[in-house]
Structure 1
Amino acid sequence: MTEPDTQGPTHFIGNRIRKELEAGQYQQIITRFPPEPNGYLHLGHAKSIALNFSVAEEFGGYTNLRFDDTNPAKEEQRYIDAIKEDVHWLGYAWKHERHASDYFEQLYEWALHLIDHGLAYVDSQDADTIRAQRGTLTEPGVESPFRNRPREESRDLFQRMRAGEFADGAHVLRAKIDMASGNINLRDPVIYRIRHLTHPRTGNQWCIYPSYDYAHGQSDAIEHITHSLCTLEFEDHRPLYDWLLAHLPVPSRPVQIEFSRLNLDYTVLSKRRLTRLVDEGHVSGWDDPRMPTLAGVRRRGFTPEAIRAFCAEIGVTKSDSIIPFGVLENALRNDLNERAPRTMAVLRPLKLVLTNFPEGETEWLEAAVHPQKPDMGTRRIAMSREIFIEADDFMEEAPKKFFRLKPGGEVRLRNAFIIRCDEVIKDADGQVVELRCTLDPDTRSGQPGANRKVKGTIHWVSAVHSVQAEVRLYDRLFQTPDPAGDKAVDFIEHLNLESLVVIPDARLEPETAQARPGESFQFERLGYFAADPDGTPERPVFNRAVTLRDTWAKIESQA
Structure 2
Amino acid sequence: MSEERSLNFIEQIIEEDIAAGTHGGRVLTRFPPEPNGYLHIGHAKSICLNFSLAQKYGGKTNLRFDDTNPVKEDVEYVDSIKEDIKWLGFEWAQELYASDYFEQLYQFAVQLIEKDLAYVDEATPEQIAAAKGSPTVPGTPTPARSRSIADNLDLFARMRKGEFKDGEKVLRAKGDLASPNMHLRDPLMYRIKHAHHHRTGDAWCIYPMYDFAHGQSDSIEQITHSICTLEFIPHRPLYDWFIAQLGIFPSHQYEFARLNMSYTIMSKRKLIQLVQEGHVRGWDDPRMPTISGLRRRGFTPASVRMFCERIGVQKRDNLIDFSLLEFCIREELNKTAPRVMAVLDPVKVVITNYPADKVEILQAENNPEEENSGTREVPFSNTLYIEREDFMEVPAKKFFRLGPGLAVRLKYAYVVQCETFEKDASGNITTIFCRYLPESKSGNDTSGLSVKGTIHWVSAAHAHQAEVRLYDRLFSVAEPGNEEGDFKSFLNPDSLQVVENALIEPALTKARAGDRFQFLRKGYFTVDVDSSPEKLVFNRIVTLKDTWAKETKKS
- TM-score w.r.t. structure 1 length? 0.97
Q: Is the 8 A contact 1:442 1:449 kept in 2?
A: yes
2:378·2:507 contact (CA, 8 Å) conserved in 1? no
Matched, 1:92 2:60: no
Q: Check the 8 A contact 1:133/1:141 in 2, yes or no.
A: yes
The match for 1:3 is none
| One-letter identity of the residue aligned with 2:354 | F
Cross-structure match for 2:218: 220
Task: Give SS of 1:511's match.
Answer: helix
Question: Structure 1: which amino acid aligns with 2:417?
Answer: R
2-structure distance, mates of 1:118, 1:388: 82
Cα distance in 1, alignment partners of residues 444 and 512 from structure 2: 38
Q: Given the alignment, which residue of 548, 553, 556 partners 2:549?
A: 553
Give the stretch that moved more between structures: 64-73 or 347-356: 347-356
Q: Distance in 1 between matches of 2:5 and 2:29?
A: 15
SS of the aligned residue for 2:22 comes to coil
Question: Given the alignment of the two structures, is residue 330 of structure 1 paired with residue 324 of structure 2, yes or no?
Answer: no
SS at match of 1:543: strand
- Structure 1 contact 31–64 (Cα < 8 Å) conserved: yes
After TM superposition, give the deviation of residue 465 of structure 1 in Å: 1.1
Q: Which amino acid aligns with 2:239?
A: Y
Letter in 2 for 1:164: G
Q: List 4+ stretches of structure 1 deviating above 4 A.
A: none
Cα 1:446–1:284 change in 2 (3 A) is closer
Residue 167 of structure 2 corresponds to residue 169 of structure 1 = yes
CA distance in 1, matches of 2:287, 2:427: 37
Give the partner amino acid of 1:294: I
Change (3 A) 1:448 1:197: closer
CA displacement, residues 415-460 of structure 1 (integer Å, 9 cap, x when unaligned): 1110011111111122101111111101013545266320110001
Which blocks of at least 5 consecutive residues in structure 1 are unaligned? Answer: 1-6
Question: Could you tell me how far apart the structure 2 residues matched to 1:45 and 1:367 are?
Answer: 41
Q: Who is 1:35 aligned against?
A: 33
Give the counterpart of 1:408 among 402, 405, 408: 405
> How far apart are 1:402 and its partner, in Å?
0.7
Q: How far does the alpha carbon of each residue in 1:261-283 deviate from its partner, in whole angstroms, 9 at most, with x for none?
A: 00101110110111111111111
Does structure 1 conserve the Cα–Cα contact (< 8 Å) formed by 2:334 and 2:369? Answer: no
Distance 1:447 1:57, change over 3 A: closer
Q: CA deviation at 1:141?
A: 1.9
The residue that corresponds to 2:146 in the other structure is 148
Measure the CA separation in 2 of the matches of 1:463 and 1:243.
73
Does structure 2 conserve the Cα–Cα contact (< 8 Å) formed by 1:8 and 1:14? no
In the alignment, the residues of structure 2 paired with residue 446 and residue 309 of structure 1 have an alpha-carbon distance, to the nearest angstrom, of: 37
Indicate the residue corresponding to 1:535 in structure 2: 531
- Give how far 1:223 is off: 0.7
Q: Deviations over 1:462-509 (max 9, x none)?
A: 1111110110111111111110112x3111111111110111011111
Distance in 2 (alpha carbons) for counterparts of 1:71 and 1:310: 32
Counterparts in 2 of 1:329-368, with a 5 A limit?
Answer: 329-368=326-365
**Shift in CA distance, 513/141, structure 1 to aligned 2, threshold 3 Å:** farther
Separation (CA, whole Å) in 2 of partners of 1:383 and 1:142: 85
Distance 1:205 1:357 in 2: 79
Task: Report deviation, 1:142.
Answer: 2.2
The number of equivalent residue pairs is 551
- The answer (yes or no) to whether the contact 2:409–2:415 under 8 Å persists in 1 is yes
User: Structure 2: which amino acid aligns with 1:464?
Assistant: A
Q: Percent identity?
A: 55
Partner residue, 2:81: 83
Q: Tell me the equivalent position of 1:74.
A: 72
5 Å-filtered alignment, 1:124-203, equals: 124-203=122-201
Distance 2:97 2:449 in 1: 68
What SS does the aligned partner of 2:283 have? coil
The question of whether the paired residues in 1 share the 8 Å contact of 2:288 and 2:294 is answered with yes
- Pair 381,451 (structure 1): closer, same or farther in 2 beyond 3 Å: farther
Write out aligned runs for 1:396-475 (5 A).
Answer: 396-445=393-442, 447-449=444-446, 452-475=449-472
Gaps of 5+ in 2: none
Quote the RMSD (CA, aligned, Å).
1.2
Q: Which residue of 1 aligns with 2:516?
A: 520
State the shift of 1:236 in Å. 0.5
The offset of 1:103, in angstroms, is 0.4
Give yes or no for contact 2:31–2:64 (8 Å, CA) kept in 1. yes
SS at match of 2:418: strand
TM-score computed with the length of structure 2 as normaliser:
0.98
441-450 vs 95-104, which deviates more? 441-450
